[in-house]
Amino acid sequence: MSIFEPLQELEKKEELFRQQLNGLSKEQRKSFYEVQSQNLKDPDTYAALNWLFLGGIHHFYLKKYALFAMELILLTVSVIGFFLGHASSIYIIILLCVYELPQLFFSQKIARQYNYNLSCNILNETRKS
């Protein structure tokens, strides 16, 4: 899924998912909701982490550990380089800001997409068991 996917497409997928969920037995739905409630991510928390903290903490929240580590390392190296007087460090900081800007504006949708994908995976596991 892309952050530029129209919101209507995501809403259609969520509605289709709800229909599939309603087709489960009562026991399967109970099992699904137990697992889902422990793993869902709050879109507002993701948005707040994205707004307030530098270094990709919001990626850590969505369990994107490699992306979190890469951004944190790039930010740390560029800030140190900036204070040491390396001119190229400012370009890395600018590139990080440009990369993060769309994620900042689409943070609610990103968290909803994460929750949708998570719910689909949980549904598939619930059907198997």
Instruction: Indicate if the alpha-carbon torsion angle 28, 121, 12, 100 is positive or negative.
Output: positive
Instruction: Indicate if the alpha-carbon torsion angle 1, 106, 57, 119 is positive or negative.
Output: negative
* Rounded distance between C-alpha atoms, residue 83 and residue 36, angstroms: 45
* Rounded distance between C-alpha atoms, residue 59 and residue 99, angstroms: 13
What torsion do the CA atoms of 7, 10, 15, 21 make, to the nearest 10 degrees? -150
pLDDT digits (tens, 9 = 90+) for 24-60: 899 999 999 999 999 999 999 998 998 887 788 999 9
- Please identify every stretch of the chain with a pLDDT value under 50, giving residue numbers as ranges: none
Q: What is the pTM of this model?
A: 0.86
Please state the domain extents for the chain: 39-128
